Amino acid sequence: MELNAIDKQMTDRLKPLFEEVSRVAGYLWQKGWAERNAGNISVRITHMDFDDSYMLPFGESVLLPKKYPALAGEIFLISVTESRMRHLALNPEENLMVIKITDGGSEYQMFRSYKLNEKTAPTSEMPTHLLLHNAILERGSEEKTVLHAHVTPVIAFTHYPETQSEEALNRLLWAIHPELKTYLPEGAGYVPLLEPGSGTIAEATLQAFENRKIAVWEKHGVFSAGTTPEDAFDNMDILAKAAEIWFMVRGDQ
């Protein structure tokens, strides 16, 4: 089958998801939570049962920094490194890529589609995305999307010393916006300031996500898991609203 026919089949199959990811990317850009190349997304799409005839591998398999046994054979739609959310909102096909976790969870394979070339790679935050997806599958949860963005009010909130712990963050935000406890009853995890893209921050985020759907990176942003991209965004949005109310009550806005 010719490459353009493969691209068309995959695009047609993924069109509804592309449209939803596009909307979410637009929300993030409009809110100012995705400056430059900030923000990334991954969606597990294995359940869509892709036909092998249009899963054409591109390049060699890439060794992962660690093994993700629960992800063996899983397929993901994931944002491309250095992609912009404003570009993803306008053209998701050229700012997302499809990968499959192979070799028992120790490698990934890119698939030829759209404008992949020898420099194309998944987001640098892929280690955190994969760790979270691995944990989600291991615990049998329904979330298929992991979303990361620089949620401005939450970043500002974590600059205050009195907010810089998991217990303090949840106590303050639950008290200021009780509806938060309805939608995020487990609260948010908290990750102290660590190097982005590192294995260390990925492991810390995994711990913060235990039995939760959202985690805050101190002075950096938020990671959210949801059943869909919109659901993952909603978790971020309500957390941001609580932080905004906290500033308003303090008179800092």
| Residues classed as catalytic | 125
Which residues fall within 8 angstroms of residue 91, CB to CB, at 6 or more apart? Answer: none
Strand order in the sheet with 96-102: 57-63, 107-111, 96-102, 75-79, 40-44, 145-149, 221-226, 214-217, 189-191
Q: Are 91 and 18 in contact (CB under 8 A)?
A: no
Do the Cβ atoms of 37 and 84 come closer than 8 Å?
yes
Which run of H or E residues covers position 215? strand 214-217
Tell which residue, 2, 4, 10, 75, has the closest CA to residue 43: 75
- Report the relative pairing of strands 189-191 and 221-226 from DSSP bridges: unpaired
Angle CA(103)–CA(108)–CA(150) in degrees, nearest 5?
140
Two structure tokens written together for 175? 């008290």
Instruction: Please give the backbone phi and psi of residue 155, each rounded to the nearest 5 degrees, phi first.
Output: -60, -50
What is the distance between the alpha carbons of residues 154 and 150, in angstroms, rounded to a whole number? 8
- Bridge partners for 102 per DSSP: 107
